[in-house]
């Protein structure tokens, strides 16, 4: 039987590491941003990556699973979604592990530097742990405060999910009854039934107690999405036709192929005491 492998490679000229399981499932992770760019499970691509995504080594890459750290969106003085998604993380394919259950695990690391301390005066180590299993992907963000002062941050795994059908034929179940902030309308209603798509959607929900199910409006299953308790919110985003047309790194109809369902800790910053650690994971499973 073939063995699981981890191989140093490139994507659009950028350093990357490819994970491959004997059954055919695979993942591709760019060192820029520790960003998962591809996840193929059960023979199908599960993550959306824009054909127009930047690949110059410093501009954020549109698609996959960007890591937002140490700031979400523009909720603070740093660059939008923080500096981590544009920086080179450290990882070595030779250090990838095969776990007892057969999963392939890769750990990528980002530490503070002169460049980060110039804009964010904290000593830290962030790690992204990617675990590839048959029909499942787990991505875990870990943060360690290496400094002598409190370390406050917000963060998210900004997962771009590939739609098997146009997004208006898809729905997200599991948010029913939750109050949310609708960032488009700036209102705070309560979710009623499954969430549908087709127009600009930008919503912040309290983390649901249950896993979410992404399926077609006809009921055909696609993905299950779960997140650990230390992610306090779930963000659901799709630019819709008007905003998508304004995004230089998206095709005009690209919004129909994707949906972001993000594990987030954003409404109240996480605050780590000196030496303290924090971690939280998002799990994606094929249905």
pLDDT digits (tens, 9 = 90+) for 20-74: 999 999 999 999 999 999 999 999 999 999 999 999 999 999 999 999 999 999 8
Contact 266, 208 (CB under 8 A): no
Nearest to 29 by CA among 115, 155, 157, 117: 157
Question: pLDDT per residue over 263-286, tens digit each?
Answer: 999 999 999 999 999 999 999 999
With b meaning 16 or more CB within 10 Å and e meaning fewer, what string describes 74-86?
A: eebebeebbbbbb
Nearest to 212 by CA among 285, 140, 153: 285
- Does the pLDDT value for residue 1 go beyond 60? no
Query: Residue 3's pLDDT is what?
Result: 87
- The residues, ordered by sequence, that sit 6+ positions from 25 with a Cβ below 8 Å of its Cβ are 39, 40, 41, 42, 132, 133, 134, 135
Tell me what percent of the residues of the chain surpass a pLDDT of 90.
Answer: 96
């Amino acid at each position: 039987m073939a063995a699981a492998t981890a191989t140093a490679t490139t994507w659009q000229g950028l350093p990357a590491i490819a994970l491959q399981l004997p059954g055919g499932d695979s993942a591709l992770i760019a060192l820029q941003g520790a960003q998962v760019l591809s996840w193929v499970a059960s023979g199908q691509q599960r993550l959306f990556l824009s054909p127009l995504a930047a690949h110059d080594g410093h501009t954020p890459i549109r698609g996959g699973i960007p890591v937002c750290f140490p700031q979400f969106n523009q909720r603070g003085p740093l660059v939008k979604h923080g500096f981590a998604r544009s920086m080179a993380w450290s990882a070595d394919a030779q250090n990838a592990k095969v776990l007892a259950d057969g999963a392939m695990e890769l750990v990528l690391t980002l530490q503070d530097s002169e460049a980060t301390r110039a804009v964010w005066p904290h000593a830290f180590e962030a790690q992204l742990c990617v675990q590839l299993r048959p029909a499942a992907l787990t991505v875990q963000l870990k943060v360690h405060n290496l400094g002598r002062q409190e370390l406050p941050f917000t963060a998210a795994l900004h997962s771009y999910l590939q739609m098997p059908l146009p997004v208006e034929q898809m729905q997200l179940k599991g948010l029913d009854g939750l109050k949310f902030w609708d960032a488009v309308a700036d209102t705070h209603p309560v979710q009623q039934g499954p969430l549908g798509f087709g127009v600009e959607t930008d919503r912040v929900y309290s983390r649901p107690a249950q896993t979410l199910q992404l399926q077609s409006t006809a009921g055909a299953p696609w993905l299950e999405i779960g997140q650990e308790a230390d992610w306090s919110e779930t963000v659901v985003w799709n630019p819709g036709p008007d905003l998508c047309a304004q995004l230089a790194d998206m095709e005009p109809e690209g919004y129909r192929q994707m949906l972001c369902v993000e594990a987030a800790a954003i409404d109240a910053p996480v605050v780590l005491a000196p030496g303290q650690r924090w971690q939280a994971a998002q799990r994606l499973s094929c249905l």
